[in-house]
Amino acid sequence: MKFNIVLFFLFSIIILQNEVFAQPQLWEMYSTSNQPFVNVVVEKYESDSLYLKSMNQLFIFHQDSIEYLIKKRDSNFGLGFIFGAVAGGIFGAKISSGSDGFLSGIGKGLSIVLGSVIGGVVGGGIGLSSGADQKYLLSKLKSEDKRILLNRLFN
């Protein structure tokens, strides 16, 4: 029962972290002339133009002048590592406490540490992979496909 409560608490933290620490979504945009616009916020997309804001300046780009967009995502390695380590430690303690558990022979302390290490590595790996940037190549798309993609992303 305690294990379920701890898991529910940790899942709640992961789900709510984006709400608590909400910041504007950052993007990178590269024009067809290879000019980079890094750490910009997309204000809106309308009339085939993308409106980007950077350092209180507004830039307007027609969709055909955009080479590609990158949606920047933060790595969740730390949170994944913590979640995995706690869950792994609880799992290791639960398994070692049973009289016929396969980890009962190595001792409760070592099984908790082993579970925490394995859980932390797995959780950290999952958190790291969940924070990968997403790249959208627009230059190879037809105008109508660009419009559909940009509408889906920003409207």
> Tens of pLDDT along 3-27?
556 656 666 565 555 555 556 789 9
Q: State which CATH number among 3.10.20.30, 2.40.400.10, 2.40.50.140, 2.30.30.100 fits the domain covering 1-73+135-155.
A: 2.30.30.100
Q: How confident is the model over 136-155, as pLDDT tens digits?
A: 999 999 999 999 999 999 98
How far apart are alpha carbons 12 and 74 in whole angstroms? 19
0.75 exceeded by the pTM?
A: no
Task: Check residue 150 and give its pLDDT.
Answer: 96
Task: Check residue 12 and give its pLDDT.
Answer: 59
Task: Check residue 5 and give its pLDDT.
Answer: 64
How far apart are alpha carbons 6 and 15 in whole angstroms? 14
Question: Cβ–Cβ contacts within 10 Å for residue 42, how many?
Answer: 19
Q: How confident is the model over 101-111, as pLDDT tens digits?
A: 555 566 777 87
Q: What is the mean pLDDT of the chain?
A: 82
How far apart are alpha carbons 136 and 139 in whole angstroms? 9
- The β-bridge partners of 45 are 50
Q: Where in the chain is the domain with CATH 2.30.30.100?
A: 1-73+135-155
How far apart are alpha carbons 83 and 123 in whole angstroms? 6
Place of tokens 């959208």: 136
